């Protein structure tokens, strides 16, 4: 590899991510670049009675509700599969047998992390939901047969949800 990380010049911590100013050398020239160091993420595609368990959640970035897959941050030293099962249960109350169906880089130009897509087949609903403060979430069951139409009509716009659904459709 022709690129060499020389040093992290400074770091600013924003609780859910850090911004690193990092010096790299390429072809004997050095320059400073910025990286967003975020924890790994997980999206969950849970199947329940020919439907995908989705959520409608308020997102601060766009100040509006978004129809998306359940998901969240993978805790330090937590396998993504376990994180997926945990996030699904906490956000929706659904549980089930899980498997990893894909791993991707959400935005490799800036972010250092990975997003893992977890598939939960034959999910069942429990009475236990354990949402965090400020998680304004409504569970929405979307028939699998309607997903592509919802995407085409712009009803599902979260890029990471769309990427995870693409992994699912590719199975």
Q: What is the pLDDT along the chain (171 residues), one digit of tens a residue?
A: 799 999 998 899 999 999 999 999 999 999 999 999 999 999 999 999 999 999 999 999 999 999 999 999 999 999 999 999 999 999 999 999 999 999 999 999 999 999 999 999 999 999 778 777 788 999 999 999 999 999 999 999 999 999 999 999 999
CA 160 to chain centre: 6
What are residue 116's DSSP bridge partners? 42, 103
SS (H, E, C) the chain: CCEEEEEEEEEEECCCCEEEEEEEEECCEEEEEEEEECCCEEEEEEEECCEEEEEEEEECCCCEEEEECCEEECCCCCCHHHHHHHHHHHHHCEEEEEEEEEEECCCCCCECCCEEEEEEEEEEECCCCCCCCCCCEEEEEEEHHHHHHHHHCCCCCCHHHHHHHHHHHCC
What is the reported pTM?
0.94
């Amino acid at each position: 590899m022709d690129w060499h990380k020389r040093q992290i010049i400074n770091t600013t911590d924003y609780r859910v991510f850090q911004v690193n100013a990092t010096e790299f050398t390429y072809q004997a020239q050095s320059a400073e670049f910025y990286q967003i160091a975020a924890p790994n993420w997980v999206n969950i595609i849970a199947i329940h009675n020919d439907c995908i368990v989705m959520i409608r959640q308020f997102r601060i970035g766009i100040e509006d509700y978004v129809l998306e897959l359940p998901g969240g941050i993978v805790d330090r030293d937590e396998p993504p599969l376990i994180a997926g099962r945990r996030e699904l249960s906490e956000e929706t109350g659904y549980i089930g047998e899980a498997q990893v169906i894909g791993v991707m880089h959400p935005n490799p130009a800036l972010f250092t992390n990975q997003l893992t897509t977890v598939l939960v087949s034959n999910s069942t609903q429990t009475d236990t939901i354990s949402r965090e403060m400020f998680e304004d979430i409504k569970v929405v069951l979307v028939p699998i047969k309607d997903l592509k139409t919802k995407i085409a009509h712009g009803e599902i716009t979260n890029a990471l949800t769309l990427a995870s659904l693409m992994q699912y459709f590719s199975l």
